[in-house]
Amino acid sequence: MNVVAQPLTTPLVRPAPPAPYGMLAELTHRCPLQCPYCSNPVELDRRNVELDLDTWKRVFSEAAKLGVLQVHLSGGEPTARRDLEDMVRHCVEVGIYTNLITAGVGVTPERLQAISDAGIDHVQLSFQGATAEVTDKVSNFRGAHERKLAVAREVRRLGLPLTINSVVHRANIHQIPAFIELALELDAKRIEIAHSQYYGWALRNRGALMPTREQVFWALDVVEEARARLKGRLTIDAVVPDYYAKYPKPCMNGWGRQSLNVTPSGKVLPCHAAETIPNLDFWNVREHSLSDVWLNSPAFNAFRGTDWMPDLCKSCERKEIDWGGCRCQAMAIAGDAAATDPACHKSPLHAHMLALAEADAATGEAEYDYRRYLTPDRNN
């Protein structure tokens, strides 16, 4: 008897993604500094749309149930939230490790003591320069550097672990050795030397921030030498600018694979720059549980895994190493979020991306368009 094969009527089911283990909670976009490389969107959320304390507590509880192990309390400047200590206490209650990412400006010793008493696990303090002249110029805040030094010392006096975060660009890349010495002086156990990534305000200021190729490779040599010399004493994490890379970075270790971001207004994003991609539907914690967003939202599933990839990426031996690289960068350079990341040397736009970097690096001194709340006229 001949048996005729019947077409499948059951739709293919996408396997459930693993649980995220990290969450960036952008509590506010308010910040006293105006750094021109800020990763916040150019159109900042206003205070009147920020999630209230009870909603954030619910989000943290849902994050713990989902599997999140650590939450980065960020902004803007998270200490601008007067209820920050309540959030920290709640995270402690639900068993989430808390990392405070702060600019340190305006944080008094009394406030730091209160945050410590609430149970904060770790403090990450940003420095825009290794000297007062550079810090104050880049942040557009006079006296910022001295305030940061005082906060760093108070953090260590309280016995809290300290990471120094230095975003590197043309104005301060020469200070990398001094940044490392500053971290040692402040008794930090870790320093993050992160070259500016060109999204948000950094993309707007790319011509004023981009270092030369020679500067970047000099910086890499400095970091490698310091890593060997200071092994066991200081952990040095480094992020290179994609514009000079050969391979794309596995952005967020893959879209929707390990982490998520919650904006001040409650949107849940696969990465901090995801809103630069048009036509993605970002669900909000006001209407959806965090678990529902992680598993089912169209934005998280848009570039998850490898099925979405163009043929060039699907056939690549690195497809589950790089996970396609950065979708926001593909959008910014190629005009298509599903295109091969131009940071990859196999991309037809790789040479174009390098040419953009070299042209920007050659502009010399340029005025910053400082991060600030824009008026409707300036947004147009």
CA distances from 176 to 24, 363, 378 (A): 26, 22, 35
Q: What token pair was written down for 246?
A: 């050969």
Is 35 among the annotated ligand-binding positions? yes
Is 91 among the annotated ligand-binding positions? no
Give the angle 65-68-69 at the CA atoms, nearest 5°.
115
Give phi and psi for 134, each to the nearest 5.
-75, -45
Residue 323 — left, alpha, or beta (φ > 0 → left; ψ -120 to 50 → alpha)?
left
Q: What token pair was written down for 76?
A: 């803007």
Classify strands 22-26 and 259-262 as parallel, antiparallel or unpaired. Answer: parallel
Nearest to 146 by CA among 135, 156, 159, 161: 135
Give phi and psi for 224, each to the nearest 5.
-65, -40
- State the amino acid at position 302 in one-letter form: A
Question: How does DSSP classify residue 365?
Answer: S
Question: 3-class DSSP state for residue 167?
Answer: strand
Is 271 among the annotated ligand-binding positions? no
Q: Under a CB-based contact definition with an 8 Å cutoff, are residues 75 and 261 in contact?
A: no
Q: Under a CB-based contact definition with an 8 Å cutoff, are residues 182 and 146 in contact?
A: no
- State the amino acid at position 104 in one-letter form: G
List, in sequence order, every residue forming a beta bridge with 261; answer none if it has no partner: 24, 269
Binding residues: 31, 35, 38
Binding residues for [4Fe-4S] cluster: 31, 35, 38
